[in-house]
Copies of this chain bind each other. A is one copy, B any other.
Amino acid sequence: MAHSPAYSYDAGVFRKRLEQDAEFTTRAMETLLPIDEGPEGQLMDAVRYAALLGGKRVRPYLTLHTAALFNVDPKCALRVAAAVEMVHCYSLVHDDLPAMDDDDLRRGKPTCHVQFDEATAILAGDALLTRAFEVLSEEGTHQDAMVRVALVKELAKSAGAFGMVGGQMLDLVAHQHDLDMSEVARLQRMKTGGLINYACMSGGILGKASDSAMHKLHGFAHDLGLAFQIVDDLLDATGNEEELGKRTNKDAGQGKATFVSLMGIDQARDQAARLRDQAIDQLNVFEEKADPLRDMAHFVVNRVS
């Protein structure tokens, strides 16, 4: 096999590390998203509700452990991890709105617009997105302004109209088009792949990684992101609503083309496993330092929620 000879995946050990890193990220976000005592305070209440309650924090984990490959100061990496998660949370808040996916359950709790109201949820998403860029631009994120501005630029590219936001638009109009496999893959690359890719690249940007190292990170992120989405589709088709903390079987109900509807369950499972191995192959150059990233590839494919 292509990874370090001593490596083996221990789900229990990984789970513990993931939870610990999630806790670090949540605490960092809590500091970066302060309570507001003014009459407009419900905005920050909604922001904190959307950002601080739960979530596996997969993207922050990717930022933290790609940054660790290049010995980046963990305090800096944690700020970027928090910013990435803010953008992820903003996208969930807006995607859940009645005019969009109209979801009332997220991570086992009422979605932001159900807990507060639609106007507050729209503004909370706006505030999270804006704060993410602010955090990246602040000096604590990296002493070198070139690094900070590169972090801003790549995030905007990943999250914007030709990335995540465009992917959500594509998802909304997907039922009008009969998407084939390459179009479903494009949708995934834009909607979920962009931010997963950014999470991995941000560690390299922080660490001023070489072009060839960035290339490897990009390859890893690409395969991981695709595997992640295939498993998401599998869970939607076969998963347990209670475990997932969100509604299942939505895609089939909406007649939406997914990796599962196009490939079938067995082939989708095989494909996810192949992508996991391929993703892990990209990490060889980083030797055992990349073991936490190898773990994530296993987790993404094995997860049941």
Cβ of A239 under 8 Å from chain B: no
Instruction: Find A152's partner among B131, B152, B176 (CB 8 Å cutoff).
Output: B152
Cβ of A293 under 8 Å from chain B: no
By a CB distance below 8 angstroms, the chain B residues around A131 are: 156, 160-161
Q: Is the CB of A43 within 8 A of B127?
A: no
By a CB distance below 8 angstroms, the chain B residues around A136 are: 152
By a CB distance below 8 angstroms, the chain B residues around A177 are: 39
Instruction: Find A99's partner among B100, B117, B133, B160 (CB 8 Å cutoff).
Output: B117
- Given known pairs A38-B170, A44-B161, A161-B43, the reply for A126 and B129 (CB within 8 Å) is yes
Q: Is the CB of A122 within 8 A of B149?
A: no
Q: Smallest Cβ distance from A124 to chain B, in angstroms?
A: 8
By a CB distance below 8 angstroms, the chain B residues around A159 are: 130
Q: Smallest Cβ distance from A186 to chain B, in angstroms?
A: 8
Instruction: Find A42's partner among B38, B146, B157, B173 (CB 8 Å cutoff).
Output: B173
Cβ of A73 under 8 Å from chain B: no
Q: Is the CB of A166 within 8 A of B126?
A: no
Nearest to A147 among chain B residues (CB) is: B145
Give bound CA distance, A95 to B265, whole Å: 43
By a CB distance below 8 angstroms, the chain B residues around A162 are: 36
Instruction: Find A165's partner among B43, B100, B170 (CB 8 Å cutoff).
Output: B43
Cβ of A47 under 8 Å from chain B: yes
Q: Is the CB of B36 within 8 A of A130?
A: no
Q: Is the CB of B119 within 8 A of A137?
A: no
Cβ of A168 under 8 Å from chain B: yes
Give bound CA distance, A167 to B137, whole Å: 22
The B-contacting residues of A in range 170-207, CB under 8 angstroms, are 170, 172-174, 176-177, 183, 190
Cβ of A123 under 8 Å from chain B: yes
Q: Is the CB of A120 within 8 A of B169?
A: yes
Cβ of A10 under 8 Å from chain B: no
